[in-house]
Amino acid sequence: MATPLTTSLPERDGANRFVGKGSKSEDTDPLAAQLKTLGLYVMAERYADLAEQARKAKSPYPHYLSALVTAQLAARIDRSFRNRLTRARFPTIKTLESFDFSFQPQLDERHLRTLADLTFLEKAENVLLVGPPGVGKTHLAIALGVKACGAHKRVAFYPVLELMDELTQAQAGGALPRKLLELSRLDLLILDELGYLKLDPTRANLFFQVVSRLYEKGSVILTTNRRFETWGDIFAGDPVIAGAILDRLLHHRHLIAINGPSYRTPELTGGAEPETGQ
């Protein structure tokens, strides 16, 4: 026998209104069951309440339908945003709104706000955030990443060393091509904290491969405490590979130098060394 879910019409009450969820179970609320079968859980949940509101307000049928579809759509957008945030693997969520620009008067606020419109992603440009510890580099990188997730972009956040370790393991297990392909499909790769520790030749080479794959295809946001002239040190003491990496990263880039005090320990840093960045 066919299930009532697909064959029966939704029940109506004495006033010819669809019977809402309320205390009724799915068995006695076939419309809700049908909507759920279609994956429209929010509509299943809300159709009765909204119908009641529409009835009271005497709104036209299309308005009711529109309110219902809007509710479902809003939930979907919200879910897709949350999924993207989860997939991006941010260590914590930071926003531009929670960044106190008055604490970093030397920071080019206008430039950052322009970046937040995300046109740099359309042009596959990179953003380099350079400065000493605690000035908000990671905060700003995450904030831009969160904005990108909100714009349906594919984003991933990695501390540099973590990604290099993951890639080294992938290489050992024969999974490097797949992992690189995955990275090359991103709209935005955030590489956090380049420079605190040196990379060995294998990791320096892997870093180069990642940057090459994304070059002119996707954007990189990189945070670093190191001036570009010292990058040879970071990349296994090899100025050639450091040069090749810089070349690709800097070709289409926005440079944000932050030279103010540390937000973590403002009392210890009245202002950092000047950072030219290049």
In whole angstroms, how close is the CB of 255 to Mg ion at the nearest point? 17
Q: What distances in angstroms separate CA 204 from CA 37, 117, 196, 207, 238, one per listed residue?
A: 51, 32, 14, 5, 9
d(CA 187, CA 182): 11
CB atoms within 10 A of CB 209: 15
Q: Which residues bind ligand ADP (CB under 6 A)?
A: 94, 99-100, 103-104, 133-139, 223, 263-264
Residue 263 interacts with, from Mg ion, ligand ADP, none (CB under 5-8 Å by kind):
ligand ADP
Residue 112 CB contacts under 8 Å (≥ 6 apart), including other chains: 96, 101, 140, 256
Nearest distance in Å: CB 86, ligand ADP? 20
Residue 94 touches which member of Mg ion, ligand ADP, none, C-beta under 5-8 Å by kind: ligand ADP
Residues 190 and 192: their CA atoms lie apart, in Å, by: 6
Q: How far apart are CA 157 and CA 220, in angstroms?
A: 10
**136 touches which of ligand ADP, Mg ion, none (CB within 5 to 8 A by kind)?**
ligand ADP
Return the residue matching tokens 């429209």: 40
Q: Smallest distance from the beta carbon of 32 to ligand ADP, in angstroms? A: 44
Q: Which is nearer to ligand ADP, 99 or 157 (CB)?
A: 99
Query: Which residue is associated with the tokens 């930071």?
Result: 94
HEC sequence for 57-79: HCCCHHHHHHHHHHHHHHHHHHH
- Considering CB distances under 5 to 8 angstroms, the limit depending on partner class, which of Mg ion, ligand ADP, none binds residue 196? none
Residue 138 contacts Mg ion per CB under 5 A: yes
What is the sign of the dihedral through the CA atoms of 79, 83, 88 and 89?
Answer: positive
* Choice between 183 and 222, CB closer to ligand ADP: 222
Question: Which of 13/100 has CB closer to ligand ADP?
Answer: 100
Of 20 and 131, which CB lies nearer to ligand ADP in the complex structure? Answer: 131
Q: Which is nearer to ligand ADP, 39 or 266 (CB)?
A: 266
Nearer to ligand ADP, 134 or 145 (CB): 134
Which range binds Mg ion by CB under 5 A, 102-110, 132-140, 150-158, 263-271? Answer: 132-140
Residue 255, phi then psi, degrees to nearest 5: -105, 120
Query: Which spans in 100-174 are helix H?
Result: 109-115, 119-122, 137-150, 160-172
Residue 180 site contact among Mg ion, ligand ADP, none (CB < 5 to 8 Å, cut-off depends on kind)? none
To ligand ADP, the closest distance from the beta carbon of 195 in angstroms equals: 11
* Chain residues in the site for Mg ion (CB under 5 A): 137-138
